[in-house]
Amino acid sequence: MTTSGPAREAWLEMVALFTGEENQQSFLTAAASLALTPSAFRALLGFGDEEAPAMRELAEKWHCDPSYVTGIVDQLEQRGFAERRPHRSDRRVKIVSLTEAGASARQAAKLRLSEPPAALRSLSVADARALRDLLRKATAALPV
């Protein structure tokens, strides 16, 4: 609870950027442009490049109830972005994977959301690079 001033101040700047009008709006319009609810859009973004997960694993990852995962995956499936298939050895389990369309929609969405807010765009390339490097240094210092 007693972190040195500068880190605290830096964090407050980031929070302001993230919670700001510009970023919030950009997220919502990106979701709407795919005709997905914000939750389903977040889910789409949440699919990694790893192994396709079981429904139950998604529930854990997203900290929500399995019944809710059913609804979200239904939505993605209806939009043609995901599909279920039974697990090889245990037919109770259903594996969820992105379709071709889902993977490319996710990719496009990530690109779109990676567009930084105006404040960051105002930095010189050198400054932006310095900023990026400091942030990477910070996250690289973490265990795991």
Partner DNA sequence: TATTGTTATACTCTATAACTATA
Partner DNA sequence: TATAGTTATAGAGTATAACAATA
The binding site for DNA (CB under 7 A) comprises 37-39, 54-56, 59, 63-71, 73, 84, 89-94
Residue closer to a copy of itself (CB basis): 88 or 143: 143
Which amino acid would we find at residue 85?
A: R
Give Cβ neighbours of residue 85 (< 8 Å, ≥ 6 apart): 94, 95, 97
CA 51 to chain centre: 17
Give Cβ neighbours of residue 88 (< 8 Å, ≥ 6 apart): none
CA end-to-end distance (rounded Å), the chain: 23
| C-alpha–C-alpha distance, residues 56 and 66, integer Å | 6
Task: Please report how close the Cβ of residue 92 comes to a copy of itself at its closest, in angstroms.
Answer: 28
Task: Please report how close the Cβ of residue 29 comes to DNA at its closest, in angstroms.
Answer: 15
Which amino acid would we find at residue 61?
A: K
Residue closer to a copy of itself (CB basis): 3 or 89: 3
| DSSP helix/strand/coil, 97 | strand
**Of these, 55, 57, 62, 116, which contacts a copy of itself (CB under 8 A)?**
116
Task: Please report how close the Cβ of residue 26 comes to DNA at its closest, in angstroms.
Answer: 18
Kindly indicate which of the ranges 50-58, 66-74, 83-91, 134-142 contains the residues binding a copy of itself, using the contact rule CB under 8 A. 134-142
Task: Please report how close the Cβ of residue 2 comes to a copy of itself at its closest, in angstroms.
Answer: 9
Q: Which residues bind a copy of itself (CB under 8 A)?
A: 1, 3-4, 6-18, 112-123, 125, 127-132, 134-139, 141-142
